[in-house]
């Protein structure tokens, strides 16, 4: 069986579907859905006799078509890794955080304009107006949450997982099992099974790699390498850790802590 490779040349875990790093699907999405929706939406809104609500719905589709490709694109390189926060930082793409705010702004603006347009069947609708204002209020809040510096940081002592709403600290010594998996055809995931008696319902930390700036396989092999080679962890505090990760010098394929998702579940 031939070994499939990740976008940056690393072995691609068989538990993950192959990444769609090539192909015209984004162009097809824009051509088949985005462009017609834009033309139809503008045409409806320019005609007072038409239902303006339908026109704004089509423009919302345009906004979604513009943000979904940014959200779904997997990272392809290794050069976004850098030294900081006491370790080697694997950052998420900030641009992916625009999807939710853009959708909220599009929906909120559509709702408010419909209630303020005399020709609209929804003119003066208080419920629609309140919903629109709530969406517009939530947009900047979601932007602040999703725009913050989310990343996975490997330090000599811990793995620091920063997300929009929470931060999790995982000591290296607490990791018992590591699994690569995905749910259906969803984004690639890493499951860290940790021994943490203080969190009886949080013994598994799931890392979604959809928003990673780097090749998803890079973080997996970096975690596997340093989990299996504790003597190398000291280099994570400096440039040596970044150099090892970027070069792909990660001797982790035979790691004793790596196993299939089924094995991870059984060990829990």
pLDDT (tens digit per residue) in 15-43: 887 655 444 566 676 677 777 888 888 88
Q: Which helix (H) or strand (E) holds 35?
A: helix 35-45
C-alpha Rg value of the chain to the nearest Å: 23
> Per-residue pLDDT averaged across 36-53, rounded?
76
Is residue 142 within 8 Å of residue 136, measured between CB atoms? no
**Residue 120: DSSP 8-state:** S
Return the residue matching tokens 């998996």: 181
Quick: pLDDT tens for 119-177: 667 678 888 889 989 999 998 888 777 666 688 999 999 999 987 677 889 999 998 88
The Cα–Cα gap between 150 and 87 comes to 14
| Nearest one of 173, 170, 212 to 191, comparing CA atoms | 170
Is residue 268 within 8 Å of residue 193, measured between CB atoms? yes
Quick: pLDDT tens for 170-222: 999 998 888 888 877 667 888 888 776 555 556 788 888 877 889 988 999 99
**Residue, of 223 and 17, whose pLDDT is higher:** 223
Residues in contact with 61: Cβ distance below 8 Å, sequence separation at least 6, in sequence order: 33, 34, 37, 41
Among residues of the chain, what percentage have pLDDT more than 70? 74
Average pLDDT score over the chain? 78
């Amino acid at each position: 069986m031939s070994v499939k490779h990740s976008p940056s040349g690393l072995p691609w875990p068989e538990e993950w579907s192959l990444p769609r790093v090539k192909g015209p699907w984004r162009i097809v999405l824009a051509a088949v859905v985005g462009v017609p929706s834009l033309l139809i939406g503008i045409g409806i809104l320019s005609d007072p006799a038409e239902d303006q609500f339908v026109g704004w719905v089509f423009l919302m589709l345009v906004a979604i078509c513009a943000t979904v490709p940014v959200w779904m694109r997997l990272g392809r390189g290794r050069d976004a890794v850098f030294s900081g926060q006491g370790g080697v930082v694997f950052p998420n793409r900030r641009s992916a955080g625009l999807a939710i705010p853009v959708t909220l702004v599009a929906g909120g603006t559509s709702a408010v304009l419909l209630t303020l347009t005399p020709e609209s069947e929804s003119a003066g609708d208080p419920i629609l107006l309140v919903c629109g204002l709530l969406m517009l209020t939530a947009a900047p809040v979601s932007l602040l949450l999703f725009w913050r510096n989310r990343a996975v940081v490997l330090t000599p002592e811990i793995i620091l997982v920063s997300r929009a709403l929470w931060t999790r600290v995982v000591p290296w010594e607490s990791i018992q099992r590591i699994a690569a998996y995905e749910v259906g055809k969803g984004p690639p995931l890493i499951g860290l099974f940790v021994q943490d008696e203080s969190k009886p319902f949080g013994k598994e930390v799931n890392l979604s790699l959809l928003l990673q700036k780097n090749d998803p396989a890079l973080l997996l092999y970096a975690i596997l390498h340093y989990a299996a080679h504790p003597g190398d962890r000291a280099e994570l505090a400096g440039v040596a850790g970044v150099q090892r990760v970027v070069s792909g010098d990660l001797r982790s394929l035979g790691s004793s802590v790596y196993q299939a998702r089924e094995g991870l579940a059984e060990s829990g």
